[in-house]
Amino acid sequence: MNLDDTIVAIATPPGRGGIGVVRLAGPEARAIAQPMLRLKHELEPGKAVFGELIDPCSADTPGRERSASKKNQATTVLNSPAPENSDLDTSTRAGMPAPHNQRIDEVVVTYFQKPHSYTTDDILEISAHGSPVVLRHIAELALAQGARLAEPGEFTMRAFLNGRLDLTQAEAVRDLIDSQTLFQAKVAAQQLEGALSRLLKPIKQKLVELIALLEAGIDFAEDDVSIAPDAIILTHIAEVQAPLYQLAASFHYGKIVHQGLTLAIVGRPNVGKSSLFNRLVERERAIVTAQPGTTRDLVSETVAIGGIPVQLVDTAGIRRALDEAESIGIRKSMEALADADLVLVVLDATQPTTAEDQELLGQVAGRAAIVVENKSDLATAHVGTAALGYPAERNSAPWIPTSALTGEGIPELRAQILHHITGTTAPTESTFLTNVRHHKLITDALAALTAATNALAARVPHEMLLLDLYNALRPLDEITGATTTDDILNLIFGTFCIGK
């Protein structure tokens, strides 16, 4: 990747909108943008200037030809095909010259001067009306003047390579863009502020100090520099291990925060699964009728519970199928039950527990599950759990009475779902691992520290012990990007959207 290039990309999502932004970054950003802009005032760093977008080239000028040569590339990457009746393209297709310096749109141009910008390069952001035709045309004009289309994530990669962000902060940019809930956005914002890097900094410092202590004892033994005793070395290793173990343990919760979880609602026909689904979604998403077996296919919707994205899956009632369509629906229900992170087994609180209920409860025994006794507003007595000799004690899952009709018990059900996710009813916002790559590297560092501890117990020479300590330091450096290969960088930034 050439950091001396000037790159351009549409920074707003494909489609039409009130405003669209085209971003240029690089040493020639101002010079490339100047011919296409007629501004009311001179550009000043950190200020927005009103102006006009103009078409500086006619059909027979070199600029127009260069723009046309870039057209297919821009169309492919920007994913914004122009309508067939576009006024901007008609003259070019017909071979007619376009008017010189014709106004196309009103724009607002913001200039960020190096090094005080996102990438530390000169950056221009051109905000126009959000027409795909106009935005694509701005990009084409920039390409005609010598800019290059940005690769996915290239703006953020430049920010990393130029020292503006470390790797954990760069990854947090992607997480912030991909966040589905406000809590996910807050967690990503913490990472973007460098929360994980700040946490790792003193840990790495202690490890570096231990390495320096051993290196000094080895290199300067002739100068009466004493070799550290084993007890001191073990203490240093333990001080490094303890916070790393805490970080590694936090990944179980962090992974759920980052990815969310799947919750399947299962039960016999007509126990109120779809009504309960609608109540949790807070809108009429699934069809509800008095006739048993209404739901034949899986219906899913993602909701936020305690800031965690939870994909709810409403399933077909599980019973002996009456026809082929219902049989397929029941098979899908069993697949959803097997794949779910958490299962809601719905019982009818107005009826005794049936053999089918018992079979379902047996299938979720030992799994993460919640038993919901629905229609509690209609139940005159608690007949569900004991009627057929199936006491709640035989299943570790909590039992919660609810009424999908009145909303009774729904807050308690939400709290129980959240308790399953976090272990408490209120999730903490302290620093925790949400990234699979980070967790793998923390695990590698801990494995190397364990090897160092074992080597010390086996009286291995300190020269060999240092190898294990360096093996522990290297993964910690890879988390922040201090020592990271190009392959890893390409893999990380390749998942970004174009324009970021």
Question: What interhelical angle do 71-78 and 62-69 show, nearest 10?
Answer: 40
pLDDT for position 389: 41
- Between β-strands 342-348 and 308-314, what pairing exists: parallel, antiparallel or unpaired? unpaired
308-314 β-sheet, strand order? 299-305, 308-314, 261-267, 342-348, 369-374, 399-401
pLDDT for position 26: 94
Dig out the tokens for 151 from the structure: 């690769």
**Total residues belonging to the chain:** 500
SS3 76: helix
pLDDT for position 484: 65
What residue ranges in 385-466 does DSSP mark as E strands?
A: 399-401
Using alpha carbons, list the distances in angstroms from residue 162 to 121, 137, 155, 272, 356.
9, 30, 11, 57, 63
One-letter amino acid at 308 equals: I
Domains by residue range for the chain, with CATH: 7-150 (3.30.1360.120), 171-250+433-493 (1.20.120.430), 262-422 (3.40.50.300)
Cis peptide before 115 (omega within 30 of 0): yes
pLDDT for position 333: 77
pLDDT in tens, the chain (500 residues): 677 899 999 999 888 889 999 999 999 999 999 999 999 999 999 899 999 999 876 443 444 444 444 444 444 444 444 444 444 443 444 444 455 678 899 999 999 999 999 999 999 999 999 999 999 999 999 999 999 999 988 999 999 989 899 889 989 998 898 888 888 899 889 888 889 999 999 999 999 889 888 887 666 555 454 577 888 889 999 999 999 999 999 898 888 888 888 998 888 888 888 888 888 887 665 544 444 555 556 788 888 888 889 998 888 766 665 556 666 777 787 788 888 888 889 898 888 888 888 888 888 887 888 999 988 888 664 444 444 444 444 456 788 898 888 888 899 999 998 888 876 544 455 678 889 999 999 999 999 999 999 998 888 887 888 999 999 999 999 998 877 667 667 777 777 777 77
- Cβ-in-10-Å burial (0-12, 13-18, 19+) of 414 comes to middle
Q: Which long-range contacts (CB under 8 A, 24 or more apart) does 290-294 make?
A: 292/317, 293/269, 293/317, 293/319, 293/322, 293/326
Closest CA to 411 of 395, 425, 431: 425
Whole-prediction pTM value?
A: 0.75
